[in-house]
Amino acid sequence: MSKAKFAIALTILSVATIGRAVPIRGTAPQRVERLRPANILAPIRLRDERERGLLAQGWINGAGPFVFAIDTGAGISLVSRNVIDRARLQMTKSRRPLVGGFSTTPIASDQETQISGIALGTSENRVPGGFTAAVVNTLPGSIDGVLDPTEVFKPFGYSVDIPNKELQVFDTATYRLRVTDVPREGAVVRWVREAGSNRPFVKLGDGRLALLDTGSRLGLALSEGRRVSGTGDSIHDLGGGVIQSRRVAPQTVSIGALVLNKVPTDLLMGVAPGTPIIIGRGALFPFKITFDPASRLIAFEPTE
C-alpha cells in the first residue's frame, strides 16, 4: 500500500508572541440555550505554552505522567518511544505508514501501537475505549505525544475552552449540538470533513475551507507562494523542518454568523503541497469550541 499522508498541524514556534483576533460584537444571533452537555470525564486542565501548544498530563498503564499536546488538526495521534518503553506498549507494523508535517522534510513512521484506558488530567481520569497512535523516536519541545482528541475520545464529543485552559468530554448519545444552540456572540457551524479524515474543517464566509488547529499558535495561516513585504519568522514542524512565516496585514474572517476582526495573518513558505488554510489559537483564543462528531457541528462560545 502506498504511503498515506497525514497533515500533522502541531507547530513548534520560535517567534515572538502572536496577536489575537478580536470578535466583532453583536454580529451573531442571541443564545437559544446554554451549552450544557453531561460530561463523562472530569474536566481536564490544560497548559497553554507558546512553544509547545495546549498540553495535558497523561498516564498509560499506570506509567506517567507524560506530556501530551492536544491538537485538533493532527489527524492522527503520535507517541514517542519513551512512552512505548515506560508504558510497556506493544508495537506493530503500521497498515498506513505516516508521512506528515508542514515542511518538505516530513516526519515518518511505519510503526503503531494500540492504547486503551489512557488517563488525562489525573491518573484516575480514564478515557473509555482506545485508539491507535503512530510511534516516532522523539518529538520536539520535550513532549511525549500528540493527541488528536477526535480520535482519542471517539465516539464522544468534546470542548476545548482556550481562555480557561480546560478540556471536557461529553456523551453524544445523551446530548447533541443543534444548529439552534447558538451562543451569544458565537456561532454553530457545520463540521466539514475531507475524504478519509475526521479533521475539523469549517467553511469561511468566502467559501474557502479552513482547518481548526489548536496545535498552532498562529491566527490565520495561508500557504500561498507569493512574495510579500513584512516581518519574517521561522516555524519548526514535527519533522524537524523549518518553515518561513511572513506576517501580512490582518484579515477579517467570518465563520457562519461569527465575524473575527483583525485576525493575525501569516503567509507560510516552504510548506508541503496540499497544506490547508489554518486557523490557530491566535484566532481561537476567545472561545470555548465544542466539537460534536455525531451531529457534525462545531460551536464557538466566547468565554474570555
Q: Quick count: other Cβ atoms within 10 Å of Cβ 254?
A: 16
pLDDT at 267 over 60: yes
Q: Quick count: other Cβ atoms within 10 Å of Cβ 248?
A: 18
Could you tell me the pTM of the whole model? 0.84
Q: All 3 cell numbers of residue 294? A: 455525531
Domain 4-302 has CATH 3.20.20: no
Categorize the per-residue pLDDT at 235 as very low, low, confident or very high, splitting at 50, 70 and 90.
Answer: low
Contact 215, 75 (CB under 8 A): no
pLDDT of residue 199: 93
Peptide linkage before 155 cis (omega within 30 of 0)? yes
pLDDT of residue 23: 57
Segment 135-169, tens digit of pLDDT: 988 787 789 999 999 999 999 999 999 999 999 99
Cα–Cα distance for residue pair 293/149, rounded to 1 Å: 11
Q: How far is CA 11 from CA 139, 141, 199, 273, in A?
A: 11, 10, 16, 17
Q: All 3 cell numbers of residue 71? A: 491538537
Q: Which of 145-159, 263-277, 280-294 has the lowest mean pLDDT?
A: 263-277
Segment 83-105, tens digit of pLDDT: 999 999 999 998 765 655 554 44
Q: Quick count: other Cβ atoms within 10 Å of Cβ 174?
A: 9
Q: For the chain, what are the domain ranges? A: 4-302
Q: Which of 139-143, 214-218, 280-284 has the lowest mean pLDDT?
A: 139-143
Which residues on adjacent β-strands are paired with residue 91?
Answer: 113
pLDDT of residue 56: 97
- Break the chain down into helix, strand, coil percent, rounded to 5: 5, 45, 50
pLDDT of residue 292: 97
